[in-house]
């Protein structure tokens, strides 16, 4: 089974913010297959999950622990469903990438992202795949936290659907192929051995 975890914050006030593009991607994959979201088993703290069965079973997840505690839900999901780190893809916003750019990696540091930092702390490893979605840094005069917790600008909103579609395609390629294929397809300037 492959586990695709979209990171974000629960609640209506965060729904359309840059920090929630991870949620948007797993929601798009669920929409494609008409999957229903359900509360995770009681052994998994605060997460919604959706399952797709077939030749390559997939578990989609949205931790509801808030971004800074994402590792609690990810570790519990991996333990409960017996998913090894190499079969996990974390989908997350990235302020250091321009809006609309994707970057896949097989491993690496948190790069300053609190959600990834929490996952690395709880798993005790950096050896899991991640798909970073560029949301840009915004105005230098504005706090980064305010930027990622704000909604997309009008011009970006017009392109957001195609951005999320490409990211969902990349996540599905991870399931059907592997992270190396995703890297070569979506960030061709990067060598497969690169990390963050």
Question: Which ranges in the chain belong to alpha helices (H)?
Answer: 21-32, 70-81, 114-123, 144-148, 154-176, 179-186
Query: Which residues belong to the active site?
Result: 19
Rounded to 5 degrees, what angle do the CA atoms 100, 131, 98 make?
A: 25
Produce one character per residue of 88-113: b if its CB has 16 or more CB atoms within 10 Å, e if not.
bbbbbbbbbbebbbbbbbbbbebbeb
């Amino acid at each position: 089974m492959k586990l695709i975890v979209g990171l974000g914050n629960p609640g209506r006030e965060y729904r359309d913010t840059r920090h929630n593009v991870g949620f948007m991607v797993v929601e798009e994959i669920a929409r494609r297959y008409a999957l229903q979201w359900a509360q995770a088993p009681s052994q998994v703290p605060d997460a919604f999950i959706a399952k797709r069965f077939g030749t390559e079973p997939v578990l989609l997840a949205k931790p509801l622990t808030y971004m800074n505690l994402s590792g609690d839900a990810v570790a519990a999901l991996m333990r409960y469903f017996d998913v090894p780190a190499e079969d996990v893809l974390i989908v997350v916003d990235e302020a250091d990438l321009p809006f609309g750019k994707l970057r896949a990696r097989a491993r690496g540091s948190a790069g300053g992202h609190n959600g990834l930092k929490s996952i690395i702390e709880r798993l005790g490893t950096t050896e899991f795949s991640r798909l970073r979605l560029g949301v840009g840094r915004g105005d230098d005069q504005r706090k980064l936290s305010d930027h990622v917790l704000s909604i997309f600008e009008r011009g970006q909103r017009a392109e957001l659907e195609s951005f999320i579609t490409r990211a969902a395609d990349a996540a599905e390629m991870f399931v059907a192929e592997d992270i190396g294929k995703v890297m070569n397809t979506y960030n061709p300037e990067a060598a497969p051995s690169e990390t963050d």
